[in-house]
A and B are shown apart, each in its own frame.
Chain A
Amino acid sequence: MKLIGMISIFWLFIVLVYGTSDFSAWGDPESPCNLHVSNYYIEHAMSDTSVPNIVTAILADYRGFDTMFETAVIFSAGIACFFLLRRPKYDAPEAVVFRHIQTGITLRIEKGGRLPKESDEFERIDTQWVPYDLVIQVTSRILVPFIQLFALYVVAHGHHSPGGGFQGGVIFGAAIILFAVSNTLRKTTHRVSEKRSAVLCAIGVLIYAGTGVCCLLAGGNFLDYSALSGLLGVDPVTARSHGIMMVEMGVGLAVTMVMIWIYYNLSSAGKQHEGL
């Protein structure tokens, strides 16, 4: 198998390399792909949308439809992970481990046993428990808000600098995942429950699609933000810029929540009472 794979891959390599022979040289500004459509974007992005970051302008406006479905892809990935992995709630764990904080004694309670209340005295811990590392916990606790702030900046400043809803969303999600990694999954789900993340990510996508539908209702084509100018009370070009903003926020929300949701399910294999 290995040999066959190697040989066929080698042949494919040769063939594909042969296929590159008619490519225009790397970095050639005169290659056809750099001449036709893209020039329009570079030359008109500012006057059409007043967004200097051309990538954002194309992403959310010229090809905004792609991006909507990109959000849908990530949303469906979230749903798919949930659908595949989630164990039902009544599927209780076999044993639950508690730790008496003062003494450090670990209690293992088999299925059906009476569970102590989580309080200052008792703390539920994972079955494969590693003692907390103070440095990590404190560092991440300090870091998390800054990362979140940065994420919001990335979302908000996507018009002018690299970034946008997607990157910002991922960073925001990563911040929460960092919290989950440094603490426990339970603490995280306490703050952002699964239901909330699921509903919010649907709402994020809904914001995107809803903006498009608003344009439709305002008399324009789907996702034609300039139709919102009357609604927002600005000129059509600025309306496009605002529309992009709205959409980016929707993407950010959706992506954040999906990242968290997928992480919840992956790290706990769908049980969600203990994770990484």
Chain B
Amino acid sequence: MEIIYSSKPLLAVMTSVFVIPILLSCRNSNIRETWTFIAGFIKLLIIVSMLPVVLAGKQPAITIYEVLPGLALQFRVDAFGLLFAIVASFLWIITSAYSIGYMRGLKEHSQTRYFCFFALSLSATIGVAFSGNLLTMYLFYEMLSFSTYPLVTHHQDREARSSGRMYLVYILGPSIGFVLPAMLISYHMSGTLEFAVQGFLPDQGNYTGLLVLLLLFIFGFAKAGIMPFHSWLPAAMVAPTPVSALLHAVAVVKVGVFCVARVMTGVFGTKLLASFELNTVICWIASITVITSSLIALSQDGLKRRLAFSTIGQLSYIVLGIALLSRSGMEGGMLHIAMHAFGKITLFFCAGAIFVATGVKNISEMKGIGKRMPITMAAFFIGSLSVIGLPPCGGFISKWLLLMGTVQAGQYVMLAVLLTSSLLSGAYFLPIVYNAFFCKPGNNTFQGGIQEAPAWCVVPLSVTAMFSILLFFYPQPFLQLSRVAVDSFLGGP
């Protein structure tokens, strides 16, 4: 593993300085949003430019400052982090476009604040993805929590307030109560917090101690939405839809999952996990979440809430995949970060577009909506396919790899879990699509021809939908990245 010095990771995180021009141009919304796009493209360019280097097996790294003796603010880009960063930063641009349509369409207040905090949370996400040690990761994790708070509570009404409270309690409580002590305990055990390929925790240790530590980490990163620390996600759906789309389908939740995965690989290391069979514990926890959340999703009527519960389940796929510790399982888990992101963001975009165009939020009111918004609902269909894991969508590849992984690891119960959950997700998505196209609307709401949401909304969701399909045929960059990552985690090809 060759480490090369590069300031690119820092630059990628620092693109949040564009907050300043965004703030300054608060009077003119066009200029403001231009700045957002500029920031997004710069960020994406910087991140993508690291792709060849990382694929060649090198790791760009930069140490910024030693905040505590022996503990630095440190960025190190490996394949796993880069995969996540590419997804997040690419989708940011699309979401920005969508945000414009959505926010203007609804004439939301405080749009400048919205765009500022959006930029900040993206930087925090990239920071988490690139962080080279646990401390840096924790720092950006907390930064993300606080910079998304104003986004979640954007409406500033009673509902937003109670949801915001729930959000903070669920995110902040475990992160201070569990992660912080866990981090310190592991620091005391090993004297370092820097992620290592095979984990930095010493090989020896007693089972109970390690198990407690692992559980503290896994539940502490509550953004991963592992039950019982999942309730914040449905609550956070009061946020404007672009926020739900990017943050609660991509950035925030994936940050949680990413942190959990990082802890499993970089802190504990696959060998340690395997030798104590700690991974089975995680598998069980994840599988319980997968099944339960899918069941809950079935009973939800609010579209966004149903999506939220679906997200909870899908997040646990990723955790499950990595906890399998088999080659395909880990590849599939990592790939699922990307695949699920494209699929789920499409679904959220559609939900938002429906809301903008018709003001409808509940699934039961959407019968026959396909006649009015055919493009949106077609995209919705593609997104659902991807999330369920059916070809010709990207989700199929990752799910296939996950299934392979269970077989490789010999965990047939998990195979069953995954299959059941796929069936369940089919059960809660496909009826929506069916009803939208083939049911007659109960009243006359959706008559009167095609009437889509504004172009700023429709174009992004079509783009993501197309990408979902595209990734089925061309998953190379992500697949390669995940292979490189898994190679290093499992030690050799």
A and B: direct contact (Cβ < 8 Å)?
no
